[in-house]
């Protein structure tokens, strides 16, 4: 097992100036929908543990568990708000066919929506608010104006966007005030390396990585026979032949990586988290955590040294820089 450091490293989150832990805490699964059932007590225990280990960055959204994820985080921060850096999202309501939908069609509706975020989170401000949708005009202008009004009122300290669309990111950052980008980035999805990550470095935009475990594929626990429970969105991987073949290819890639690190003492999930943290544009990664065991394993990845040149060369041979596929769109 590689030697680990003694303290969770911190990095500056772009122009926000916030110093955030390299390993954050993703609360999508904690909402109790889309990823199978969860136990609120286990989630709160995991948050307590993460906080004790130096994790200060917690990311959620209004739609995770129809607000339940935010409510859980609101319980966790009670009496110790100053120890948490909180990021949440607003905008995405669902899908109309293949198209995302939003309820925030005016600035007033958006501001009222963020007020609801704050109420569920049991706080009078959030450190980062993020647009969870990438519609262009007029939706983008509504979000920008709403976020800036909330920032001026002190209810939002910084704002950003969650997207994998480079043109949308550029448009959202039209006045240079966008502080953060949340993006899907992993060993299996390196598409952001081509243009988005260099742009963020150039414009001092802090990068929050989601999807580093590729929806669990890079945790190394799935096989071709794995089946997902009712309500788990990953069921679609078996319901479409093209997606199923891509899934099988991804499993082959994961197996090659598993054989490479078998004697290292590092898990596949830790390798995947180390990989994204190695990119100079990345500030923090937010693996989904819903229990203590996941918290312990993910946090340890933030304390491990960088991947060696041999391991990076193997990854490059399996998924070339800038290559792979987008696992999740927004």
Q: How far apart are CA 216 and CA 269, in angstroms?
A: 8
Q: What's the whole-model pTM score?
A: 0.93
Going by CATH, does the domain composed of 10-318 fall within 3.20.20.100? yes
* pLDDT tens-digit readout, 276-319: 999 999 999 999 999 999 999 999 999 998 999 999 999 999 99
Measure CA 114 to chain center.
19
Distance, CA of 48 to CA of 58 (rounded, Å): 12
7, pLDDT greater than 90: no
Neighbouring residues of 182: CB distance < 8 A, sequence distance ≥ 6: 59, 87, 89, 130, 160, 161, 162, 163, 207, 208, 209, 210, 286
Residue 328, both tokens: 């999740």
pLDDT at 43 over 60: yes
- What would the pLDDT profile of 90-104 be if each residue is shown by its tens digit? 998 766 666 677 889
More confident: 4 or 315: 315
Tokens of 84: 């948490």
Residue 263, pLDDT above cutoff 90:
no
Question: What is the structure's pLDDT at 108?
Answer: 97
Contact 182, 59 (CB under 8 A): yes
Domains of the chain, by residue range, sit at 10-318
Beta bridge partners of 126: 156
| pLDDT, tens only, 176-225 | 999 999 999 999 999 999 999 999 999 999 999 999 999 889 988 888 88
Q: Which of 99-113, 150-164, 175-189 has the lowest mean pLDDT?
A: 99-113
pLDDT of residue 329: 46
Helix, strand or coil, per DSSP, at residue 12: strand
| Predicted confidence (pLDDT) at residue 1 exceeds the cutoff of 60 | no
Q: What is the pLDDT of residues 205-215, one digit of tens each?
A: 999 999 999 98
pLDDT of residue 4: 53
Range in 20-24, 138-142, 218-222, 251-255 with the lowest mean pLDDT: 218-222
**pLDDT at residue 264 is higher than 60:** yes
CB 235 within 8 A of CB 247: no
Give the pLDDT of residue 98. Answer: 65
- pLDDT reported for residue 36: 65
Q: How confident is the model at residue 158 (pLDDT cuts 50, 70, 90)?
A: very high
Query: Which positions are annotated as active-site residues?
Result: 64
> 97 burial class (0-12, 13-18, 19+ CB within 10 angstroms)?
exposed
Give pLDDT, residue 37. Answer: 74
> What is the DSSP pairing of strand 159-162 with strand 128-131?
parallel
How is 90-132 classified by DSSP, letter by letter? E---EEETTEEE-S--SHHHHHHHHHHHHHHHTSS-BSEEEE-
Query: What's the pLDDT at 330?
Result: 42
Residue 100 and residue 104: Cα distance in Å, rounded? 12
For residues 248 and 262, the model is more confident at 248
Residue 141, both tokens: 């202008």
Cβ pair 324, 192 in contact under 8 A: no
pLDDT digits (tens, 9 = 90+) for 269-285: 999 999 999 999 999 99
For residues 62 and 309, is the Cβ–Cβ distance under 8 A? Answer: no
DSSP 173: T
- Compute the mean pLDDT over every residue in the chain, rounded to the nearest whole number: 91
At residue 6, the pLDDT reads 63
- If one compares 133 and 239, the residue with the highest pLDDT of the two is 133
């Amino acid at each position: 097992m590689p030697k680990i450091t003694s303290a969770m490293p911190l990095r500056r989150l772009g122009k926000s100036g916030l110093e955030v832990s390299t390993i954050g805490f993703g609360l999508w699964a904690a909402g109790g929908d889309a990823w199978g059932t969860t136990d609120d007590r286990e989630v709160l225990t995991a948050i307590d543990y993460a906080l004790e280990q130096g994790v200060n960055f917690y990311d959620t959204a209004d739609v995770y568990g129809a607000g339940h994820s935010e409510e859980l985080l609101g319980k966790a921060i009670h009496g110790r708000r100053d120890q948490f850096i909180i990021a949440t999202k607003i905008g995405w309501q669902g899908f109309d066919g293949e198209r995302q939908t939003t309820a925030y069609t005016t600035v007033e509706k958006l501001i009222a929506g963020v007020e609801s975020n704050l109420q569920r989170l049991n706080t009078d401000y959030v450190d980062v608010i993020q647009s969870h949708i990438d519609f262009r005009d007029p939706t983008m202008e509504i979000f920008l104006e709403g976020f800036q009004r909330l920032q001026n009122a002190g209810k939002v300290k910084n704002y950003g966007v969650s997207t994998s669309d480079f043109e949308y990111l550029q448009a959202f950052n039209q006045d240079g005030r966008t502080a953060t980008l949340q993006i899907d980035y992993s060993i299996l999805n390196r598409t952001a390396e081509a243009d988005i990550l260099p742009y963020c470095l150039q414009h001092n935009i802090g990068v929050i990585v989601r999807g580093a475990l590729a929806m669990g594929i890079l945790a190394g626990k799935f096989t071709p026979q794995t089946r997902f429970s009712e309500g788990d969105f990953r069921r679609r991987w078996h319901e479409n032949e093209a997606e199923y073949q891509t899934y099988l290819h991804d499993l082959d890639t994961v197996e090659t990586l598993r054989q490479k690190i078998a004697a290292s003492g590092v898990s596949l999930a830790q390798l995947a988290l180390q990989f994204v943290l190695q990119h100079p544009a990345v500030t923090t990664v937010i693996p989904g955590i819903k229990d203590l065991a996941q918290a312990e394993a993910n946090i340890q990845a933030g304390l491990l040294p960088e991947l060696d040149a041999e391991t990076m060369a193997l990854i490059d041979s399996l998924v070339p820089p800038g290559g792979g596929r987008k696992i999740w769109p927004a």
